[in-house]
Amino acid sequence: METKIALLFSFISVAFGIFTGYAAMRRGHKKDIAKETAHLTTVLISLDHIRTDISDIKTDLSELKLDMKTDHERLVKAEESSKAVHRRLDSFTGISGKGMAI
């Protein structure tokens, strides 16, 4: 009878140990999942910020290209005007021979 009681306590102890181990494993697994979820959320938020920053950079680049195009057009007009002024001066100095006498 004593051996039966000893065996019964042994089985109960083993069952309790297995149950405790399984419960600890599940609790640890849930904590791991929670940590991984928090980490992935942080990564996704960071990626969203990067995406927003890239979009802002693209917008700024488009505006810069438009400004450069406008500046180029103004420069071309200024060069054309300068050429016209030089032609007028050349023709004016050519008419009077030596240029204007002051």
In 3D, which of 33, 30, 53 has the Cα closest to residue 41? 33
DSSP-derived 3-state class of residue 1: coil
Q: For residue 60, what are its two tokens?
A: 């700024």
% of the chain residues with pLDDT over 90:
47
Looking at 47-86, which runs of residues are DSSP E strands?
A: none
Q: Which residues lie closer than 8 Å to 101 by C-beta, 6 or more apart? A: none
- Predicted local distance difference test score (pLDDT) of residue 27: 83
This prediction's pTM: 0.52
How many angstroms separate the CA atoms of 102 and 88, rounded?
19
**Low-confidence spans in the chain with pLDDT less than 50:** 101-102
Are 75 and 81 spatial neighbours (Cβ–Cβ below 8 Å)?
Answer: no
- Predicted local distance difference test score (pLDDT) of residue 98: 55
Are 99 and 93 spatial neighbours (Cβ–Cβ below 8 Å)?
Answer: yes
- Predicted local distance difference test score (pLDDT) of residue 49: 96
